Chains A and B, each alone.
Chain A
Amino acid sequence: MTTGSPLTPATGGSEQPAVELVRITKEFPGVLANDRISLELRRGEVHCLLGENGAGKSTLMNILSGMVRPDAGQVKLDGRVVEIVSPKHAIGLGIGMVYQHTSLVPQLTVLENLMLGEAEGIRLNAGRARERLRDLGGSLGLDVDPMTTTGTLALGQQQQLEIIKALWRGSKVLILDEPTSMLTPAGVAELEQIVARLKAQGLAVVFITHKLHEAISMGDRVAILSQGRLVGAIEPEELRTATHDELQERIIALMFGGQQAPAAEVVELTDEVEWHAPRRPSDAEPALELVGVTVEPGPGEIGARDVSLEVLKSEIMGIAGVDGNGQRELAEVIAGQRSPASGDIRLFGHSITRLRVAQREKLGLRYVTDDRLHEGTISSLSVAMNIVLKQIGKPPYWERGRIRYAAILAKARELIARFDIRTPGPMTRVGALSGGNIQKVVLARELSFDPKVVVYSKPTYGLDVKTTRSVRQTIREQAQAGVTSIVISTDLDELLDLCDRIAVLSRGSITGVVENGPNAQQRIGELMIGGKAA
């Protein structure tokens, strides 16, 4: 271990905790995200935070990392009460967080990204930084080329770099937010080894996950969160001695407060990967074709290079890949929101490359954007208005340019019922609804005016288990009704659950298309790694 390394040798687990969270409470309007949660993080331990989306895991850790200020409660570091006022402050205190979404600047090299976080001095000392990277990488068993452009790294490597970046800044507490969500099985194994080394070096590691088996296999301690409350904890003792099945049963019991857990939710929590066989008719014709589509990257984007893809009628085609690998560029070029530098896009055999958004819309092409708050809806407009936003000017909602409230309200009421949108009324502002209901508003609009081909971009991102299930069900029903679907997702399980075929998108190119089936996950993993440079 070199001097200047933040890693100190393991000091054994049981004296004073590195971090104590005491009765942390945080309320967002309408939601008690954290309700008097107390937690102790110890050096040399992996503490798993388990709970479904919306249980309050991320809020709790955002409080620790300075992103969110708590309404009540204390944070103690080494027994001292501290008030963490900003992410910068948290980093200064030795708390590092690795998010699901990369914070690396893709155009910069590995070394440049690491030096970005350096606090002291104006001049950059590349030589010293290079040495430090070698030390840190070595201590984790990683070999990273300092001069590689980070944008060209595979997902797993980017994540490893994020971990190094956190250590670079001297983190003693490392928070990993759903780190396995987009890793291949091999990537997960690699991550496990890194976490073991971090542990051995005496770091307190927090591992946020919503997957039961991960919590059991990775954690020295498991804290179970549900609806903002800490509903139970599994101590190291128990984790070591009990069998996997016993632990699983116990955790499920804790999560549902001793009541009988709904079967579907248990499946949701315990299953690792659920694939289904393609149900695509073999003689189907292509509905949407991309032929050599290239998109110039915008600022901070990767663009798309020579993408060719054929989506058959009424099939569900998945597009897998890490966020920021050209998904948005591809979705927008299909929807017509930007134009390709070259290549052709065909809908039912006819080129639509030169058509505008509204014209493609008329042909039955729909785009469910992942940015439902700032792109997919206008939060200051009512639910009813948002539902007809793509019908502006068309009868029966507008007659000779004049708005017809009666027709709009009638349609809105119908769709609110059909899509089970929980809203006080059709004239409630969309901004007042929860994320899940906003997503339902978007789906109601995109799926109810005779859609033929729908592009879904991260359709269940940030939604709770129940809404996720209903959204996926909607996608399936649409497909059964003959609608062709393209599902872009960063959640492999979601794609395996939904799709007939899955294309892998890596750094703006399709590296392969996989038929869904027993070996799909592994093959997708190979395709992702196969796209790795260097």
Chain B
Amino acid sequence: MTETAAAAELREPPRPGAATRGQAQLGRVGDFLLRSILPLLLALVTGAVILWAIDVDPIQYYKDVYSGGVEFAAWQDSLMRVAPLLLIAVGLIVAFRAGIWNLGMDGQFLLAGAVIAGVGSRMEAHLPNTLNLVLLFFVAGAVGAAWTIVPAVLKARYELNEIITTLMMTFIGINLAQILVKGPFQDPTTTTPQTRAFDFTALLPAIPGTDSISRRWPGVHVGLVVAVLAAVAVWFLLGRTSFGLRLQVLGASTRSARHMGLDVSKLIIVAFLLSGMLVGLAAATEILGVKGYQRADWNPAFGLWVVPLVFLARLHAIGVIPYVVLLALASIGGDFAAQNAGLTPRFTLLLVGLTLLFMALTEWVARRAQLGGSYLPGASYRRQRAEGAG
């Protein structure tokens, strides 16, 4: 039946985009407000209602989020949290743009973290510090990338669904990281299951200027610079290079990619490796900049936090930055606010979940009203670029 339906549609004057026309009516600002801002607002409002329902003052709560995330020197913590979140976000953007659902980021993240925490704390005595840190960044990237090889090859060669394989690999990765931390990388001086800690002075240096504000705060580590540079690089790669266009074509349709003569298998594998590498770098910023060691039970699940954001930003590597900053702030301040209100710190995650829910609802409503566009790889960003250049 679908075959004939498609055929019938083709025969009649094709309907050039229910999408396009509605889109034109809505405009770019309206589209941005509808898809990228509205779900966030609805999530905050619903969150407030929930807080109110369980007898917590929502206004006080959100105030606490702000003061806990920004005031005093908390902004430094928030900015440092931006680094891993942003790197994971751009890692996901690379994959999602290519139409690849890399959902194995938490496994890639923890495994990379465990390896550099375990190896790095031993190497620091034998190597100059800067070289050690640079090497560890490479190692983290390599481990993150390596953990995508199995899903990448399975998808490229056998067209196996990567959602399933990356999720399976993430479970294996999380447990393997634990085994490594408790086993070969265990700090012999303690019974706590954790790696040896880096020497405090051997961690990532602060961005000049941020460390002089208060004696108590060491400043914002340079991992943030790495993350922002990575975001700019990914933006350039996706939007300005032939490789980026190839990824977009692949993301739009594998059939088209094959028709255009692209090496689909190679593209899938490269996109996967790049994505995993960026997630691995995220672990490096967190371990080398903030933690200094890895505990076996540590799993911040940053990957899941970031997924809604990359879609709110329509898979735009620079556009995602404000969202990441907001999330970092909410996650740091959210701990403080939740503590004050006697809630679990995971309440912030509830807000993230609500955002995702409202995105889905917005998408559904917009589609019904034929407003066009989508969060899914593609449409909006390319259209904006197209209009900008034309």
* B389 x A405 contact (CB < 8 A): yes
Known contacts A101-B3, A435-B14, A392 near B245 by CB under 8 Å: yes
Q: Is the CB of B248 within 8 A of A381?
A: yes
What string of 1s and 0s marks CB contacts (under 8 Å) between A156-179 and chain B? 000000000000000000000100
B12 and A59 contact, CB distance less than 8 A:
yes
Q: Are A429 and B383 in contact (CB under 8 A)?
A: yes
B343 within 8 A of A: no
Confirm or deny: B7 has a beta carbon within 8 angstroms of a beta carbon on chain A: yes
Q: Which of B18, B252, B386 has the most CB of A within 10 A?
A: B386
Q: Which of B310-367 contact A (CB under 8 A)?
A: none
Asked if B256 and A378 sit within 8 Å, CB to CB, the answer is yes
Q: Mark A343-378, 1 if CB is under 8 A from B, else 0.
A: 000000000000011101100000101010111111
Query: What is the distance, in angstroms, from B68's C-beta to the closest C-beta of chain A?
Result: 41
Q: Are A33 and B390 in contact (CB under 8 A)?
A: no
Stretch among A72-80, A186-194, A396-404 lining the B interface: A396-404
The answer on a CB contact under 8 Å between A67 and B389 is: no
CB distance from B232 to the nearest CB of A (A): 15
Q: A148 on the interface (CB 8 Å rule)?
A: no
Is B255 in the interface zone, CB < 8 Å from A? yes
Expressed in whole angstroms, the Cα–Cα distance for A382 and B379 within the complex equals: 11
**Residues of A close to B16: CB separation below 8 A:** 29-30, 431-434
Give residues 36-77 of A contacting B (CB, 8 Å): 53-54, 56, 58-59, 62, 67
Residues of the A chain whose Cβ atoms lie less than 8 Å from the Cβ of B261: 336, 356-358, 360-361, 390
**Which among A28, A380, A398, A435 has the greatest number of chain B C-beta atoms within 10 A?**
A380
B54 interface residue (CB < 8 Å to A): no
User: Taking the complex as formed, is A99 at the interface, i.e. its CB lies under 8 A from any CB of chain B?
Assistant: yes
B244 — nearest CB in chain A belongs to which residue?
A403
Q: Can you spell out 12 A-B residue pairs with CB atoms less than 8 angstroms apart?
A: A30-B21, A62-B8, A100-B7, A336-B261, A356-B263, A376-B256, A382-B386, A385-B245, A389-B260, A398-B242, A434-B13, A462-B11
Contact residues, B372-386 vs A (CB, 8 A) = 378-379, 382-383, 386
Q: CB of B1 within 8 A of chain A? A: yes
List which B238-270 residues lie within 8 A (CB) of chain A. 240-243, 245-246, 248-249, 252-253, 255-256, 258-263
**Are the C-beta atoms of A377 and B256 separated by less than 8 Å?**
yes
B241 and A401 contact, CB distance less than 8 A = yes
- Complex contact A28–B15 (CB within 8 A): yes
The 9 closest A-B pairs by CB, nearest first: A427-B390, A358-B261, A357-B261, A28-B15, A393-B242, A435-B14, A432-B20, A31-B13, A462-B10
* CB contact list, B270-298 vs A, under 8 A: none
Contact of B14 with A434 in the complex, beta carbons under 8 Å: yes
Q: Which of A377, A409, A429 is the one whose CB lies under 8 Å from B20?
A: A429
Q: Smallest Cβ distance from A449 to chain B, in angstroms? A: 12
Question: Across the interface, do A53 and B17 meet the contact criterion of CB distance under 8 Å?
Answer: no
Inter-chain contact A101/B7, CB cutoff 8 Å:
yes
Q: Is A138 an interface residue (CB 8 A)?
A: no
Closest B residue by C-beta to A376: B259
Interface residues of A in 167-226 (CB under 8 A from B): 177
A-B pair number, CB within 8 angstroms: 153
Q: Chain B's nearest CB lies how many Å from the CB of A46?
A: 21
Number of residues in A with C-beta < 8 Å to the partner? 64
Chain A min CB distance to B204 (Å): 31
The answer to whether B383 and A380 have CB atoms under 8 Å apart is yes
Query: Cβ of B55 < 8 Å from any Cβ of A?
Result: no
Q: Which residues of A contact B13 (CB under 8 A)?
A: 28, 31, 33, 54, 434-435, 464
Which residues of the other chain, A, contact B190 by a CB distance below 8 angstroms? none
A interface footprint on B57-83 (CB within 8 Å = 1, 0 otherwise): 000000000000000000000000000
Instruction: Enumerate chain B residues within 8 angstroms of A177, measured Cβ to Cβ.
Output: 8
| Distance in Å: Cβ of B58 to nearest Cβ of chain A | 40
Are the C-beta atoms of A402 and B259 separated by less than 8 Å?
A: no
Q: Return chain A residues, CB-CB under 8 Å to B378.
A: 380
CA distance A443 to B186 in the complex (A): 64
Using CB atoms, name the residue of chain B closest to A227: B13
A414-454 to B contact mask, C-beta < 8 Å, 1/0:
00000000000111110111110010000000000000000
Residues of chain A within 8 A (CB-CB) of B253 are 374-375, 378
Nearest CB on B from A2, distance (A): 29
- The residue in chain B whose Cβ has the minimal distance to the Cβ of A65 is B8
A337 at the interface (CB under 8 A from B): yes
B155 to chain A, nearest CB (A): 18
A353 to B: closest C-beta gap in Å: 16
**Whole-angstrom distance from the CB of A467 to the nearest CB of chain B?**
11
CB of B5 within 8 Å of the partner chain:
yes
Give the complex CA separation of A524 and B189 in angstroms.
88
Set B3, B14, B252: member contacting A462, Cβ < 8 A: B14
Known: A385-B245, A390-B261, A403-B240. 20 other contacts (CB 8 A): A29-B21, A31-B15, A33-B13, A58-B8, A87-B1, A99-B7, A99-B8, A356-B261, A358-B263, A360-B261, A375-B256, A378-B248, A382-B386, A398-B242, A403-B245, A427-B389, A429-B17, A429-B20, A429-B386, A431-B19
B259 x A367 contact (CB < 8 A): yes
- Report how far A356 CA is from B258 CA in the complex, Å: 10
Are A33 and B12 within 8 A (Cβ)?
yes
A103 at the interface (CB under 8 A from B): yes
- C-alpha spacing A59/B5, complex, angstroms: 11
B21 engages A374 (CB within 8 Å) = no
For B191, list chain A residues within 8 Å (CB): none
Query: Are the CB atoms of A103 and B1 closer together than 8 Å?
Result: yes
B255 to chain A minimum Cβ distance, whole angstroms, is 5
Asked if A392 and B21 sit within 8 Å, CB to CB, the answer is: no
The chain A residue sitting closest to B259, CB to CB, is A375
Residues of B within 8 A of A390 (CB): 260-261
Given A67-B5, A374-B253, A382-B390: A337 touches B14 (CB 8 Å cut-off): no
Q: Is the CB of B12 within 8 A of A378?
A: no
- B4 part of interface (Cβ distance < 8 Å): yes
Cα distance, A392 to B246, chains bound together (Å): 7
Given contacts A28-B13, A392-B245, A435-B14, contact A427 B256 (CB under 8 A): no
Which chain A residues lie closer than 8 Å to B18 at the CB level? 29
Q: Are A432 and B17 in contact (CB under 8 A)?
A: yes
Quick one: closest B residue to A26, CB to CB? B12
Taken together as a complex, chains A and B put the C-alpha atoms of A131 and B262 apart, in Å, by 54
Chain A's nearest CB lies how many Å from the CB of B10? 4
Contact flag A380-B382 (CB < 8 Å), given A375-B259, A434-B14, A462-B14: yes
Docked pose: A54 CA to B11 CA in angstroms: 7
